Structure 1
Amino acid sequence: MKKLLSLAVAGFLMLTFTLAKAADIVFIDTPTVVNNSKAGKDAQKLLEEAGKKAQAEIEAKQKTLKQDQKSQEEFQAFAIQKQQEVLKRRDELLGQFMNLVQKNLDAFAKAKNYSLILDKQAVLYGKPELDKTDEFLKFFDSNYEKSSEKIK
């Protein structure tokens, strides 16, 4: 009888410990953070501006284009160069954004005492109360506004 009671108590304690540990695992919807955060919107705006600038340069070059083969090849090389510049800018902005997200995730996890934050895309099932996207978004936006580290 004592063994059975001991096993029951041990099982209850393990279950309680497991439930307590599960509470410090949450998830965040990354696309929502990218699309709705101030930093994400800044990065998207800068990327759009770079794309529009490159497009305007390509169109201006095209207007002055002669109709010979050499000019066509030069124009194609110019257009490819501009596309590569936009892709490089995208990679720079993405790197800046992801660094900011990571710093803020670390700070958020420490402030909330979370052991693990998962991307919602990797979660097959999670209770809605474990979705901390909105809470993180407010935290991230608040820190971004106060910070001197902006997306440039």
Structure 2
Amino acid sequence: MSPFFQFESDFVDSLRCIPMIVRYKLDTCGVKLKLHQWNKFSESDRQQTVDAPCSTEDEVRKYKELLHQLIEQRTGETATDLAIDENPSWNDAVNIPESVIQQAERVGVRITPKQWESLTPIQRFVLIKLSRSSHENANFLPAVKEFQLIPV
């Protein structure tokens, strides 16, 4: 099974943008990876950040170390650490974030609590990220369709 989403298909072959799976892991381990840093990574580096596990406490620590090492080696910069949310909203299968509700309304969709609950944490993460006002939001509707929240 591919770690990428269908709505990312226009860039995952080259990995020119940071894919959602890596963004999810970045939030999990608390490292800020800027696009210019990502662009200095080799294809192998990028694939390693996609493939490396980041679930258990030990894996999260090792993933963070990997990112620190890659950023330092490829850019000469020091990685920026971020606070890790102990209870991220994507792990909450009950409460739909207001940003998601509003973005869904903008595209003419209503996500029910039952649908929200049926999503995996990474799917909820994606919808939260794609609904933020600082994001271009172009992939929100394709993600909603991919997650089968509306008929395609």
Both structures adopt the same fold (TM-score exceeding 0.5)? no
Higher RCO (C-alpha 8 Å, min separation 6): 1
Structure of larger gyration radius? 1
Q: Normalized against structure 1, the TM-score is what?
A: 0.26
| Structure number having the greater helix percentage | 1
Q: Normalized against structure 2, the TM-score is what?
A: 0.26
